[in-house]
Chains A and B, each alone.
Chain A
Amino acid sequence: MQIFLIQLLNGVQLSMLVFLLAVGLTLIFGLMNILNLAHGAFFTMGAYFGLVVANKTGSFWLALLIGPLLPFVAGMLLQFFVLQPLAQRGRSTHLDLALLTFGLLFATAGAVEYIYGSAFHSIGTPDLLKGRVALLGIEFPLYRLFIIAVGIAIAAALVLVIDRTLVGATLRAGVDNREMVTALGININVLFALVFGFGSALAGFAGIVSAPIMSIYSNMGIGIVVTTFVVVVVGGLGNLKGSFYAALIVGVTDTLAQAYLPEAELFAIYAMLIAVMIFRPQGLFGAAGRVA
């Protein structure tokens, strides 16, 4: 039983990482209807930029703070100067965007490999979080508990912003009725660019947070794209709380499968995706179009 609880904890920790990735993507999709397959590229970008900062300053915390800035700017620029103009010219069906962003995903991996080679890199665990906590007979790494805390904190902060602030209200309005928001005098393009940048920054943040337990390498963004999409679809596109719960489901399922039924691990996740798409395509949580 104790081991089961530890495995649950492992699952929650994985969920938090997946959530950080999924939430940016779900906001982007919910608000702008953009199928951003390049989301993984921002994960990679953030990790590598964080690596640069960590190597230069020797500080994990600075890397965590500054690292996401690169994907933030890159995301904003991509949305404002590439995706938005394409949308306005009527060249942004889901297929167009999927192809374009998918191409970007691989282009980033290629560029990163060109600059850094195919070697593996790492950011060291910060000294503050190096220890372990004795938990139910297992020594659980402090850093993984940190990841859980960070995930929950960010989820809470996002809910607060979306539910309680004016910016959040404007975002909800944009998801509800994009046209009306422009008819209120708000430049929706700027709003979109900011949200895209922010979602990308979250992906980059996830890349840096995961670096001490995983490794940094050029293809890292490609592997996580599928899991992230499963979470986004299961949680409901554009639904923030939904993506949190869906991330929990996916992370815990994945982890428990790895522990108890490894042959089913892959199948379990995809089976869930297919079931949701057939029986409840708006996601398991909330009605279609809701941000929170």
Chain B
Amino acid sequence: MLKVERLHTYYGESHILQGVDVCVATAQCVAVLGRNGAGKTTTLRSILGLTPARRGRVEFNGVDITRLPTHRIVKSGIAFVPEDRGIFPTVTVEEHLAIAYGASRRRPGRKPVEQVFEIFPRLAERRRSLGGQLSGGEQQMLAIGRALVAGPDLMILDEPSEGLAPVIIERLEAVLKDVKASGTAILLVEQNYHLATRLADYVYVLCQGRVEFAGATQSLIANGDVRRTYLSV
């Protein structure tokens, strides 16, 4: 459903993405791996129109979204969980979900706030807390819960496990497995190789803005050279 073709993105004159191709099929989980500075986050931001690409094409559900403004891209069925979680410090948990709910009026699959609280009971306990008062793990749950509210066809997550305790990462994995099982596609950037390979069906490995490997998760696990060269695992 998501087709990214020959994407070139610049920061000023820095040529960050040098012709990236990524594909995500319906209900598939795709992981993008690579070292720091490989261009993983930039790829996500280009797809979402936050850092628009200079050349290339992004197609979603048959529609060319390359040059659309971010809010239109999101409205077409993509939800974003950024690396810093994007939690608003002065907004309560409840309000976070309500804002997302109100913004996804046209989405058939949108979830009412209470449903999200059922998935994350911890959030329900903290429904009146301000975003700035939550722990790292709670913020991550909120970010994902907020993304679920919109009933997206594709969820994009940037390093969701970063800074989380192992116990929370387990919970995260379970949640994402459920998300995938429910039919939502996932595009995941992860430093955590093991988490990524447990979740993903297909994997891309980026290095210096280029795709150095693309294949089913199993083939990456089997390919020691690629793993050692580009991922140090």
Direct contact of A and B (CB under 8 A): yes
Binding site for B on A (CB under 8 A): 166, 169-170, 172-173, 175-177, 179-180, 182-188, 289-292
- Are B69 and A182 closer than 8 Å at their CB atoms? yes
**Which residues of chain A are near B80, meaning CB under 8 Å?**
183
Residues of B with Cβ closer than 8 Å to A? 48, 50, 69-71, 74-75, 80, 82, 86, 88-92, 95-96, 98-100, 102-104, 131, 146, 150
CA–CA, A271 and B181, complex, Å: 64
In the complex, chain B residues whose CB is within 8 Å of the CB of A186: 71, 99, 103
Write out the residue numbers on chain A whose beta carbons fall within 8 Å of the beta carbon of B90: 172, 175-176, 289-292
Task: Knowing A166-B98, A180-B82, say if A172 contacts B91 (CB, 8 Å).
Answer: yes
Which residues of B lie under 8 Å from residue A180 when comparing CB positions? 82, 86, 88
Are A183 and B82 within 8 A (Cβ)?
A: yes
User: Which residue in B48, B69, B75, B88 is a CB contact (below 8 Å) of A173?
Assistant: B88
**A184: contacting residue among B50, B74, B131, CB under 8 A:** B74
**Complex CA–CA separation, A264 to B206 (angstroms):** 66
In the complex the two chains form, is B88's CB within 8 Å of A172's CB? yes
Query: Quick one: given A166-B99, A169-B98, A170-B99, are A183 and B91 in contact (CB under 8 Å)?
Result: no
Q: Are A185 and B50 in contact (CB under 8 A)?
A: no
Query: How long is the Cα–Cα vector from A186 to B73 in the complex, in angstroms?
Result: 11
Query: Is there contact, CB below 8 Å, between B74 and A177?
Result: no
- Would you call A177 and B88 a contact (CB within 8 A)? yes
Residues of A within 8 A of B131 (CB): 176
Q: Please indicate the chain B residues that have their CB under 8 angstroms from the CB of A179 in the complex.
A: 50, 70, 86
CA distance A290 to B48 in the complex (A): 27
17 contacts between A and B (CB under 8 A): A169-B91, A170-B102, A173-B96, A173-B99, A176-B88, A176-B89, A176-B131, A177-B88, A179-B50, A182-B71, A182-B74, A185-B71, A185-B75, A185-B104, A187-B69, A289-B90, A291-B90
Tell me the smallest distance from the CB of B42 to a CB of chain A, in Å: 14
Nearest B residue to A290 by beta-carbon distance? Answer: B90
* Among candidates A183, A289, A290, A291, residue contacting B74 with C-beta atoms closer than 8 Å: A183
Known: A185-B71, A186-B71. A166 touches B91 (CB 8 A): no
Contact yes or no, A183 B48, CB < 8 A = yes
Q: When chains A and B are docked, how far (Å) is the Cα of A177 from the Cα of B75?
A: 19
Are B95 and A187 in contact, CB atoms less than 8 angstroms apart? no
Q: With A179-B50, A183-B86, A185-B104 given, is the CB distance from A169 to B99 under 8 Å?
A: yes
Give 3 closest A-B pairs by Cβ, nearest first.
A180-B86, A185-B74, A169-B95
Indicate the member of A166, A175, A184, A185 with the most B CB atoms within 10 Å: A185
* A176-B70 CB under 8 A given contacts A166-B98, A169-B98: no
Q: For A182, what are the chain B residues with a Cβ–Cβ distance below 8 Å?
A: 50, 69-71, 74
Question: Chain A contacts of B150 at CB under 8 A?
Answer: 184-185
Report the Cα distance A257→B104, complex, angstroms.
54
For A183, the chain B residues whose CB sits under 8 A away are 48, 50, 70-71, 74, 80, 82, 86
**Shortest CB distance B58–A (Å):** 15
Cβ contacts under 8 Å, B69 to chain A: 182, 187
Expressed in whole angstroms, the minimum distance between the Cβ of B70 and any Cβ of chain A is 4
Most buried by A among B74, B90, B96: B90
Q: How far is the CA of A291 from the CA of B103 in the complex (A)?
A: 21
- Name A186's closest neighbour in chain B (CB-CB): B103
Inter-chain contact B91/A173, CB cutoff 8 Å:
yes
Contacts of A290 in B (CB 8 A): 90
Query: B100 to A184, Cβ gap below 8 A?
Result: yes
Nearest CB on B from A285, distance (A):
14
Beyond the given pairs A166-B102, A170-B102, 17 more chain A to chain B contacts, judged by CB atoms under 8 angstroms and listed by A's residue number, are: A166-B95, A169-B95, A176-B91, A179-B70, A180-B82, A180-B86, A182-B69, A182-B70, A183-B71, A183-B86, A185-B74, A185-B100, A186-B103, A187-B71, A289-B89, A290-B90, A291-B90
